[in-house]
Structure 1
Amino acid sequence: MADASPRTDTSTDGDTDEKNLRFEQGQLGIAASDSSDRSKDKTDQKTLRRLAQNREAARKSRLRKKAYVQQLESSRLKLTQLEQELQRARQQGIFISSSGDQAHSTSGNGALAFDIEYARWQEDQNRQINELRAAVNAHASDSDLRVIVDGIIAHYDEIFRLKGIAAKADVFHMLSGMWKTPAERCFLWLGGFRSSELLKLLANQLEPLTEQQLAGICNLQQTSLQAEDALSQGMEQLQQSLAETLAGSLGPSGSSGNVANYMGQMAMAMGKLGTLENFLRQADNLRQQTLQQMHRTLTTRQSARALLAIHDYFSRLRALSSLWLARPRE
């Protein structure tokens, strides 16, 4: 009995240790299971958030795409409407505003219509000049050159006609030359080029000239210069007269005087402004006649070289404007 008691105690202790071990393993298993569940829950939550973010991004993308398509459609409709309005302006002399609620005479939008027409005219001129240059380089016959040269001279007649129409709508726009590049405006005279200066530039490009041709060009240059001086003096007198008329409507303190005097002076000023269109028309007539007379004085090949030189000169002025605008600034 004395020997059996220790064995019994040992067995009891062993059973207890085994139970404790199983309990600890069970606790560890439960803890591991809880940790795995929590990790799985976190993963599921991240996935749900990511899916929600993707759905929101897709929704915003669809909205942006829809807005972009609507903007394109609106721009297309506005462009179509503008083209229709310009077509009506050319056919009827009336320009309908984009809102469609009122009609304007060409004085309101004549400048825009002319700018568009001038851009088209310039494209046609570039095409004609390229054709002329190719014919000259290919040593085309005089008859072939004459057809092209006559077409270019007629094309210049067209721009003078368009300027006359635009001047009735907005003479200030035409005189200021806002439809030209900055470098071209620097040399502008009454809405265009000086015929005398152009002839001076061409003198070295047209050699050799016969004595009769040289005399004709010199006489043309002299008469052009005289006409330009006369028109310039007329413009100066008009400006001075306008300044005096406007100053006469001011009161002693510098403000406008009585209403009747003010309205009378402004009416006089408006009447004098009506002569601006006449000055522009005379200047364009001088330019047109200079080109035609030059064409009659020169041979067909000389006229072709002159037209190429004129085009290249104005092309360089436009290129100079582009270089100036693109210059680096500090």
Structure 2
Amino acid sequence: MADGSPKTDISTDADTDEKSPRFDTGKSNAVAASDSSDRSKSNLDQKTLRRLAQNREAARKSRFRKKVYVQQLESSRLKLTQLEQELQRARQQGIFISSSGDQSHAMGGNGAMAFDVEYARWLEEQNRQINELRTAVNSHASESELRIIVDGVMAHYDEIFRLKSNAAKADVFHLLSGMWKTPAERCFLWLGGFRSSELLKLLVNQLEPLTEQQLVGIGNLQQSSQQAEDALSQGMEALQQSLAETLSTGSLGSTGSSRNVANYMGQMAMAMGKLGTLEGFIRQADNLRHQTLQQMLRILTSHQSARALLAIHDYFSRLRALSSLWLARPRE
């Protein structure tokens, strides 16, 4: 029993030694296969990560573009709110044109803002009157009822021409540049307003059918308006040419002598005198627009006059809407 024990132990050790290499080989193969699998998974993971990264970048850019677009819309809204607040503060501070009496003094100091405030109020009231007129037309109101509303709308037009006349005394360049209008409206601006002859062309198709007498009357009115517009345009061109010649002659010179300074000041005085005629051009252009509207309504019936006023309002409303859409468009 004592002799057998060591043999048994040796035999057991030998068996263990013989089996161990086989076990190690299988383990190595498994490890190699595992490494290969890990490398494949690593490659797949890298491709997946790249795709995910690309998708995230594309999504990020898309969110960024959307955010920029939303910010532009919000910025436009804030600017509008800010303008409304400024107009309200100006109104509270008394920088506005009163509705009656001598108003030239109220325009002093900040004529442009004062006019913009009043023009915004004028537009608000016009929208209310036009809605009333549209309701009357749709409900087939009588001629007498429509005439009362039409006369009210025309009285409101009298108000804007009066406001513009006062504004021209304070800041004629503000009216001439059309900065109180929207961008799309400024594309069609002529001497601080619309061309009467062009507006009549747009209205003729909206007012059909017209009688032969009405067609002749509208045609004559359009022709006379065109002639008056041409005369005013030629006068403006002559004024611009004369002003350019006045400013381009002579020189202050490098020495700055008293004689050159005197010549320079004389030029500026002449230029200022010529600029003073701009107010007259604006006033004449507005008188032409005002008279054309009044004469047009004398030619038309009450129903036709109502349709004409609705068409004029809708035209300018669409120009303002076009401006808003243009300013809010997405930009790359």
User: What is the TM-score normalised by the length of structure 1?
Assistant: 0.70
Q: Deviations over 1:221-269 (max 9, x none)?
A: 000000000000000000010000011142577x998110001010000
Letter of the 2:126 partner, please give it: Q
Quote the Cα distance in structure 2 between the aligned partners of 1:212 and 1:94.
46
1:190 maps to 2:198 = no
Structure 2 partner of 1:240 = 241
Tell me which of 77, 85, 96 is aligned to 2:93: 85
Structure 1 match to 2:67: none
Is the partner of 2:190 in helix, strand or coil?
coil
Counterpart Cα distance in 2 of 1:132 and 1:139:
11
1:88 and 1:208 map into 2 onto residues whose CA distance is: 44
Letter in 2 for 1:267: A
Cα drift, residue 80 of structure 1: 8.4
Aligned to 2:119: 118
1:272 aligned partner = 274
Higher normalized contact order (CA 8 Å, seq sep 6+, divided by chain length): 2
Report the RMSD for the aligned CA atoms in angstroms: 2.2
Higher Rg: 1
Q: Helix, strand or coil: the match of 2:277?
A: helix
Structure 1 229/129 Cα, relative in aligned 2: closer, same or farther at 3 Å? same
Cα distance in 2 for partners of 1:252, 1:208 equals: 67
Change in CA separation of 1:323 and 1:304 when aligned onto 2, cut-off 3 Å: same
Please say if residues 115 and 163 of structure 2, whose CA atoms lie closer than 8 Å, have aligned partners that are also in contact: yes
Q: Quick check: 1:246–1:265 contact (8 Å CA) kept in 2?
A: yes
Query: 1:86 aligns to what SS in structure 2?
Result: coil
State the distance in 1 between where 2:182 and 2:221 align.
Answer: 28
Q: 1:129 to 1:232 in 2, by over 3 A?
A: same
Residue of structure 2 in register with 1:292 after alignment: 294
The secondary structure found in structure 1 opposite 2:206 is coil
Question: 1:82: how far off?
Answer: 3.9
Tell me what 2:230 maps to: 229
Runs (4+) of structure 1 exceeding 6 A deviation are 78-81
State how far apart, in whole Å, the 2-side matches of 1:299 and 1:89 are: 34
CA contact (8 A) 1:245 1:265 kept: yes
CA distance in 1, matches of 2:329, 2:145: 42
Runs of 5+ in structure 2 lacking a partner? 1-85
Q: Distance in 1 between the 2:275 and 2:237 partners?
A: 13
Distance in 1 between residues matched to 2:97 and 2:133, nearest whole Å: 33
| Cα contact 2:297–2:305 (8 A) shared by 1 | yes
**Mapped contact 1:86–1:113 kept (Cα < 8 A):** no
Counterpart Cα distance in 2 of 1:244 and 1:80:
43
> Unaligned stretches of 5+ in structure 1?
1-77, 96-105
